[in-house]
Amino acid sequence: MPRKVNPPPRGIWKQVARVQRLGLSGGMAGKGGPWLAVGIGAWGLQRLRSMAVKEDEILLREPLAPGETMTIRHQTTTRAEAAAEQKRLQREGKQLQQQAKAAEKAAKEARRRLSRAEKRQRAAQEAQAEAKASRRTRRRRS
């Protein structure tokens, strides 16, 4: 894996790096324990900063030959838009379920209201259609 290249520190962190360098070199050279403590403290600050900074994630690493191009696109829908779309689809699904339930209830009520003669006639029609379908399947099999 390639080694991570850190950019040179800027602003206050440039000063912290200098204090770290002077403190560690002075403490190791025998100028005293306080210098070593300052150097270690500055080193700790830099480590905390490096742990807190989010690193960019490398998704693709590929060499490009001369004349080749690479197109980088990003998703145009935001998380909020995707969540709103999902909620809308859920609402539509619930509405469709309610409509199907209402239609089923209406069909059941319509069947209940039929007279006995109409029920016999409907049962006969269904039996006739079923017999016709079974004859078709027998003809196809033979």
State residue 142's pLDDT score: 59
pLDDT surpasses 80 at 86: yes
Whole-prediction pTM value?
A: 0.34
- Name the most confidently modeled range: 13-17, 27-31, 56-60, 95-99: 95-99
Q: How many CB atoms lie within 10 A of CB 35?
A: 19
Domain boundaries, the chain: 12-52, 94-141
Cβ burial, residue 20 (10 Å; 0-12/13-18/19+): buried
